[in-house]
């Protein structure tokens, strides 16, 4: 009899444990991974003179998998009285929490539209060639901020603005290696065009990187 009581207690405990386990179980839900596609009306690269007016920018987004969208355009803070590069961001998030974002770059500058820094440049310390592309008046993109030898995860593009004959500004921008920008910038638009700076990112040193147009 004693043995039967022990077995009965063990059986009831097992049932109680199974009941608790069943009570606290959760139901998993399969989530579809998809991302909205953002489309701008107008250009992502805008240049206005100092004191000018920032054109209206609008964006639409659509998730073709979920057939839904929500788009927000962050107006940011564009000081039209101060030359520089300002970034506005449009982003969209679907009901599953996946989002996409695209930036609009606004250059505020009185530089002449004839100024063109586009072309290949050689970094002087390691002879790596980088390429600069003109996006709008005074607005340019380098395909390799640090002049790092490819292939490398540190070959990072960046956008900068030229505000006068001796001043370029490359503010912090997002990258796979974290925010990246420059300081101690120099610019000489005389032939050959030359620019230099110190890259502001934890993965780069403090060397002044000098680039000369080829």
**35-52 residue pLDDT tens:** 888 887 888 899 999 999
Residue 28 located in a structural domain? no
Highest mean pLDDT among 2-16, 48-62, 189-203: 189-203
**In this predicted structure, what is the pLDDT of residue 90?**
81
DSSP secondary structure, 58-95, as one string: EEEEEBTTTTB--EEEE-----TTS-EEEEEEEEEE-T
Calculate the alpha carbon distances from 22 to 8, 11, 56, 194 in Å. 21, 16, 57, 71
Q: Among 108, 129, 156, where does a domain finish?
A: 108
Residues 138 and 81 in one domain: no
Rounded to whole angstroms, the Cα distance separating 30 from 202 reads: 38
Residues 124 and 198 in one domain: yes
Rounded to whole angstroms, the Cα distance separating 52 from 190 reads: 28
- Collapsing DSSP states into helix, strand and coil, what is residue 24? coil
Percentage of the chain beyond pLDDT 70 is 82
Residue 30 located in a structural domain? no
Question: How many structural domains are present in the chain?
Answer: 2
- CATH value at residue 62: 2.60.40.10
Structure pTM? 0.78
Cβ-contact 37, 65 below 8 angstroms: no
Q: Is 213 exposed, middle or buried (0-12, 13-18, 19+ CB in 10 A)?
A: middle
Residue 24 located in a structural domain? no
- Collapsing DSSP states into helix, strand and coil, what is residue 165? coil
Rounded to whole angstroms, the Cα distance separating 10 from 14 reads: 6
Residues 146 and 205 in one domain: yes
Q: If we measure between CA atoms, which residue out of 57, 60, 63 comes closest to residue 86?
A: 57
Q: Among 108, 135, 163, where does a domain finish?
A: 108
pLDDT at 5 over 80: no
Residue 89 located in a structural domain? yes
Residue 125 located in a structural domain? yes
Residues 125 and 169 in one domain: yes
Please give the residue range of the domain that contains residue 82: 37-108
Rounded to whole angstroms, the Cα distance separating 160 from 105 reads: 9
Residues 198 and 153 in one domain: yes
**In this predicted structure, what is the pLDDT of residue 59?**
78
Using one digit for the tens of pLDDT, what is the confidence trace for 126-179? 999 999 999 999 999 999 999 999 999 999 999 999 999 999 999 998 899 999
Residues 207 and 125 in one domain: yes
């Amino acid at each position: 009899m004693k043995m039967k009581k022990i077995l009965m207690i063990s059986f009831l405990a097992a049932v109680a444990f199974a009941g608790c386990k069943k009570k606290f179980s959760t139901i998993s839900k399969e989530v579809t991974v998809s991302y909205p596609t953002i489309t701008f009306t107008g250009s992502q690269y805008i240049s206005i003179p100092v004191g000018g007016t920032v054109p209206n920018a609008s964006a639409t987004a659509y998730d073709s998998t979920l057939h839904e969208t929500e788009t927000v355009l962050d107006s940011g803070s564009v000081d039209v009285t101060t030359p520089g590069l300002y970034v506005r961001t449009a982003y969209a998030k679907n009901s599953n929490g996946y989002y996409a974002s695209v930036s609009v770059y606004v250059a505020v500058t009185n530089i002449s539209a004839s100024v063109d820094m586009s072309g290949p440049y050689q970094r002087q310390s390691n002879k790596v060639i980088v390429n600069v592309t003109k996006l709008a008046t005074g607005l340019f993109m380098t395909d390799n901020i640090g002049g790092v030898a490819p292939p490398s995860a540190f070959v990072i593009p960046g956008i900068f603005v030229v505000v006068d004959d001796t001043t370029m500004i490359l503010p912090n921008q997002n990258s796979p290696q974290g925010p990246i920008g420059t300081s101690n910038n120099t610019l000489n638009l005389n032939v050959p065009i030359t620019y230099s700076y110190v890259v502001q990112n934890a993965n780069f040193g403090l060397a002044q990187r000098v680039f000369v147009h080829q």
